[in-house]
Structure 1
Amino acid sequence: MLAFNLRHALLLTPLVFAANSHAASFDCAGASSPVEKAICADPYTSSLDEKLGKLWTTTLAQVADPQALKADQRLWLKKRNQCAANGSCLRREYLMRLKALEYVTKPFSWDATWKIIPWGVSSAAEITTRRLDATHIAFDISASNGGNSGDMDGVATIDGDVAHFEGGSCTLKFSAFNGLLDVDSDGGDGACGGGMGVYYGGRYVASEQPIAIEYDLLSLGVVHTQQEDQTLRTLLKSDYQTLLQNSGSMATGENSIDVPEGEVNELWLRGLATSNAAILMSAPGGRIWLVLLVFDEQRKVRARYYTNVPKWKTQVPDVLLAWRERLAGNTTLPLDLMP
C-alpha cells in the first residue's frame, strides 16, 4: 500500500489507499470505528472520502494559514464522527466540506459578497460586507428556508479577524478564516429578523453565484439506502427532482393499517406546508409508496401516486389516502395513478 507524506495527510493521520473494491483515504482493512466502517461500506461515501483526501493535499499547500486549516479539520472530524454509521449524515458532511475546501484558498477581503454553504435544498443565505474604516464593516444579510425568509443590515466592529454586532436580542459574529467567512448568530431565529427556521449562522464562501451541492434523497435522510434512492430515481424519473426540492422538512407520519411494517414520513417545503408536499412510505424488501403534490399547467395542485409494488398500482394505502384527504379539505385534489 502507498502511504502519503504525513505533512499532507488528511485528518492529520497517515493515509493509505484501501485494499478493497472501495476507494478511501485510509486503509479500510483496518477500519474499526462505526464511521470508518460506514465510509468503507458505501462506495459513494468512500469516493467522497478519497476525493477529500486528494483535495486536502493540494489545499493545505495553498492556504494563507495552514495551521488554522488543520485546526478546522480537527473540528470537522469531530462533527463528522458524530454521524457514526448514519450514511445520510456522512454524505452531507462530506459534500459540505468539499465545497468549503474549493474556496478556502481564495484571498480574504471584507469587501465581498458571500454565499452560505447550504445544509439542504431549501436553505440559502447571502451576505454583502463592506469595510467602512479600520474598525468597522457594513453588512447586509438575506436568507431563506423554504417559504420563510429574513433580512437585516447593520454595522459590525472589527477586532482582529472577527467582527461583532449587537442589536437588541440579536448578536452576530463574523469570523475571517483563510478565504471563508464563518457567521455565528445568537438570540434565536426570530431575534435577528428571520422567519421561522431561517438562520444566518453558517459557513460562507466568497461568490457572486449561489452555491450548488449535489444533494440526493439519501444525503438528505429521506431514504436510508442506496437501493431506495435508486428505486425512486427509476420510479419517479423527472419527478425525482421535484421530490428532492420538497425535502426541506420531514416528520414521521401515522402508521398504516394496510402496510403495518411501513415507515411513513411526510415531507414539505418549510413554510409552504400545503404546496408541493409529499408523503412517502417504505417497507422491507425495497417497497415504496409515494404521493407527491405537483402543479399542473394551470398552476393548480394535483397529486401523483407512485409505487413499485404491483398489487398496489391501482389502489392507494390508507395512510396516504388520509393524508391527501386532509390536505384537500373541502376542495378537490385530483389523484393521478402513475405507471
Structure 2
Amino acid sequence: MLAFNIRHALLLTSLVFATSSHAASFDCAGASSPVEKAVCADPYTSSLDEKLGALWRTTLAQVADPQALKADQRSWLKQRNQCAANSSCLRREYLMRLKALEYVAKPFSWDATWQMIPWGVSSAAEVTTKRVDATHIAFDVSASNGGNSGDMDGVATIDGAVAHFAEGNCTLKFSALNGLLDVDSDGGEGACGGGMGVYYDGRYVASDQPIAIEYDLLSLGVVRTQQEDLALRTLLKNDYQTLLQNSGSMAAGETSGDVPGGEVNEFWLRGLASSNAAILMSAPGGRVWLVLLVFDEQRKVRARYYTNVPKWKKRVPDVLLAWRERLAGDATLPLDLMP
C-alpha cells in the first residue's frame, strides 16, 4: 500500500494520468487509498482534481523555477493526504491549491501587494512589500478574522529568496516561491500585533484586491455530507449564504434530549458572536434543525428557525431553544418559524 501511495504521488506531481470516467486526473478504477476513493466518490471533488491536473500541466511549463514548484506540489500532496476520506477537508485543499496555481507563474517582485489565499469566509490578510535596498524590504501587514484584526510594519532582511524580521517575541519570515509569497510567524498569539484568532501565516498571491474562493458549507465543514448540504440549500434559500458567512468559527454544542443522537454545532464570527451566530443540529437521513441570527430592516437582531422535519415545523428542539435564550440574556430576541 505504501509503495502504491508513493507511486501515485509521483504520478500526480508529473500529472501523467489517464482521464477516467469519474473526471478525476487519475484512473478511479485503481483507487485504493482513502483519499483516492473519496475523490472518486464525490463528483465535485473529482472535477476539482481534474481542473488541478490540467492547470498543473500548463503552469509547470511557465514558472521560473519548475523544481521548486514540484517540491511544493509534493508538500501539498502530503498535506492533502492528511484529509484521508474527509470530503470537507479535501474540497478546501483543492480550492486553495487551484487558487495558488492561478498566480504562481507570475514574475516575483519584492515591490508588490499580496493577498492571502483565505482558508475560510471570515479570514483575510494583505501584505505590501517594497524593496529598500539590495538586502532589505519594508513591509506592512494587516489581517482580520471576523470582528478581530491586527496589523504591523517593519523592515526585513533579505537572504536569498527569504526575508526575516524579528522584534520582541515576534518573528516573521517572508519566502518567495515563484510568483507566490509564504508568510510564517512565530511568538504566539498576539505577539505580532494580531487580535484573538488573527494570524498572518499563509500563502499570498500578488493582487491589489482580496482573493475570493467559492466555499460552501461542505468545504467549510459545517455539514458532513452532500445530502446535508443539499438539504440546507433547499431549506434556507437566500439564508444559505447568511449561514455561510456566519460560519467563521465552530464548536460542539450540548446534546439534545428531544433528538437523541443529533449532532449539534454552534457557529459564529470571531468577535461578533452576539449578532452573527447560528446553531445547527443534524441527524441521519438528512434531517436538520437550525436557528440563525439575522438583522431585520431596523438592523435589530432576530432569530430564524428552520427545519426540514415536518413534525418539528412548529416546535423548536430543546438545545436550540436553550442556545437562543442564552444569547438573548435579559434582552428580547424574536424567533421566526420559517416555512
Which range, TM-score by smaller chain? over 0.9
Offset of residue 46 of structure 1: 0.3
Query: How many Å separate the matches in 2 of 1:88 and 1:306?
Result: 23
Q: Is the 8 A contact 2:59 2:101 kept in 1?
A: yes
SS in 2 for 1:153: strand
Question: 1:17 aligns to what?
Answer: 19
Offset of residue 125 of structure 1: 0.1
SS in 2 for 1:293: strand
Offset of residue 269 of structure 1: 0.5
The reply to whether residue 310 of structure 1 matches residue 322 of structure 2 is no
Offset of residue 12 of structure 1: 3.2
Question: 1:264 aligns to what?
Answer: 264
Question: 1:40 aligns to what?
Answer: 40
Offset of residue 193 of structure 1: 0.4
SS in 1 for 2:97: helix
Offset of residue 227 of structure 1: 1.2
Offset of residue 271 of structure 1: 1.4
Question: 2:121 aligns to what?
Answer: 121
Query: How many Å separate the matches in 1 of 2:59 and 2:90?
Result: 21
SS in 2 for 1:326: helix
Q: Is the 8 A contact 2:163 2:175 kept in 1?
A: yes
Q: Is the 8 A contact 2:114 2:205 kept in 1?
A: yes
TM-score (normalizing by structure 2): 0.96
Which one-letter code corresponds to 1:103 in the other structure?
Answer: Y
Query: How many Å separate the matches in 2 of 1:170 and 1:309?
Result: 51
Question: 1:69 aligns to what?
Answer: 69
Query: How many Å separate the matches in 1 of 2:167 and 2:94?
Result: 35
Query: How many Å separate the matches in 2 of 1:87 and 1:188?
Result: 30
SS in 2 for 1:256: coil
Question: 2:4 aligns to what?
Answer: none
Which one-letter code corresponds to 2:284 in the other structure?
Answer: P
- Equivalent positions of 1:105-144 (< 5 A) are 105-144=105-144
Which deviations, in whole Å up to 9, do the C-alpha atoms of 1:154-183 show, x marking residues without a partner? 000001110000000000000011000001
Question: 1:203 aligns to what?
Answer: 203
Query: How many Å separate the matches in 1 of 2:13 and 2:224?
Result: 27
The reply to whether residue 223 of structure 1 matches residue 223 of structure 2 is yes
Offset of residue 9 of structure 1: 5.7
Offset of residue 17 of structure 1: 1.2
Which one-letter code corresponds to 1:315 in the other structure?
Answer: R
Question: Segments of 4+ in structure 1 off by > 3 A?
Answer: none
- Equivalent positions of 1:276-291 (< 5 A) are 276-291=276-291
Which one-letter code corresponds to 1:175 in the other structure?
Answer: S
SS in 1 for 2:83: coil
Question: 2:244 aligns to what?
Answer: 244
Question: 1:148 aligns to what?
Answer: 148
Query: How many Å separate the matches in 2 of 1:186 and 1:264?
Result: 34
TM-score (normalizing by structure 1): 0.96
Count of residue pairs brought into register by the alignment: 331
After superposition, the CA RMSD in angstroms is 1.2
Offset of residue 11 of structure 1: 2.2
SS in 2 for 1:64: coil
SS in 2 for 1:72: helix
Question: 1:321 aligns to what?
Answer: 321
Question: 2:81 aligns to what?
Answer: 81
Structure 1 gaps of 5+ residues are: 1-5
Which deviations, in whole Å up to 9, do the C-alpha atoms of 1:231-266 show, x marking residues without a partner? 111110110000000111000000000001210000
Question: 2:28 aligns to what?
Answer: 28
- Equivalent positions of 1:174-193 (< 5 A) are 174-193=174-193
Q: Is the 8 A contact 1:9 1:53 kept in 2?
A: no
SS in 2 for 1:288: strand
SS in 2 for 1:24: coil
Offset of residue 13 of structure 1: 5.6
Question: 2:335 aligns to what?
Answer: 335
Query: How many Å separate the matches in 2 of 1:152 and 1:14?
Result: 44
SS in 2 for 1:50: helix
Which one-letter code corresponds to 1:302 in the other structure?
Answer: R
Structure 2 gaps of 5+ residues are: 1-7
SS in 1 for 2:149: strand
Query: How many Å separate the matches in 2 of 1:54 and 1:222?
Result: 29
Offset of residue 297 of structure 1: 0.8
Which one-letter code corresponds to 2:309 in the other structure?
Answer: V
Query: How many Å separate the matches in 2 of 1:275 and 1:28?
Result: 45
